[in-house]
Amino acid sequence: MGNEEAARLWARTGGWAGIGGVAAYLLAAFAPLPDVLGYAAAFLFGPLVAVASVGLRHRLAAERPGPLPDLGALFGAGAGFTVLAMLTTQQAIFARLEAAAAGGEEASRALRAGLDAVHFGLDVAWDVLISLSLLLFAAAMLRHPSFGRAIGATGLLLGALLLGFNLWTFPVPPEAAGTIDWGPFCALWMLVAYVLLLRAARPRGR
């Protein structure tokens, strides 16, 4: 298999993984799913983002090799693993809090304050990593024929907003601080990027 064919195969793999990841994110966040299906959707999100990041790296580097797509994939895969750790920790904490509620309201509040700090910290770590990945990929897309300046510039703006708001509201995520959560907007940008990635996987001339 040649380099170009391998890049197309990775683009297809990454594109479908990315679309599946965004779908899992939306289902876990907004769909009224039974607990088991909700957990499955939430826990699939991170691994699928990691695979999508590798797919983006192969497509971008096939025509314009350099550190930007490599670092974007590195941070993207790290973000995927971090969000998996965050979501599993978060759900374990929520289950523990339900059990602790029987111990009295004051004790439950104190326990929640301490445990929230754990998954809030992981949430911010995920946002920092994915925003860095988004910034690097977007910069690599600016002059790439399969993506272009519009998607690249939009990604740079959203990545900067996501990173900036998380640094501003730390040690809690922006949503918990009562300000704008740019994560859903970044998810929509990622969905567009993954669709373009799939389009880039088609053989030339089709």
pLDDT score at 177: 87
Residue 193 and residue 131: Cα distance in Å, rounded?
14
Question: With bands split at pLDDT 50, 70 and 90, how would you rate the model's confidence at 190?
Answer: very high
Span 3-17, mean pLDDT?
A: 88
pLDDT score at 8: 86
How many Cβ atoms from other residues are within 10 Å of residue 192's Cβ?
15
> Structural domain tally of the chain?
1
Answer yes or no: is 206 within a domain: no
Residue 33 burial class via C-beta count within 10 angstroms: exposed 0-12, middle 13-18, buried 19 and up: middle
pLDDT tens for residues 117-168?
777 888 889 999 999 999 999 999 998 988 989 999 999 999 999 999 999 9
For the chain, the 3-state helix, strand and coil shares in percent, each to the nearest 5, are: 85, 0, 15
pLDDT tens for residues 23-56?
998 898 888 989 899 999 999 999 999 999 999 9
Answer yes or no: is 56 within a domain: yes
pLDDT score at 101: 61
In percent, how much of the chain has pLDDT > 90?
A: 54
Domain assignment of residue 43, given as a range: 3-200
- CA pseudo-torsion sign 24, 25, 27, 28: positive
The average confidence (pLDDT) of the chain is 87
Answer yes or no: is 205 within a domain: no
49: tokens are 């983002």
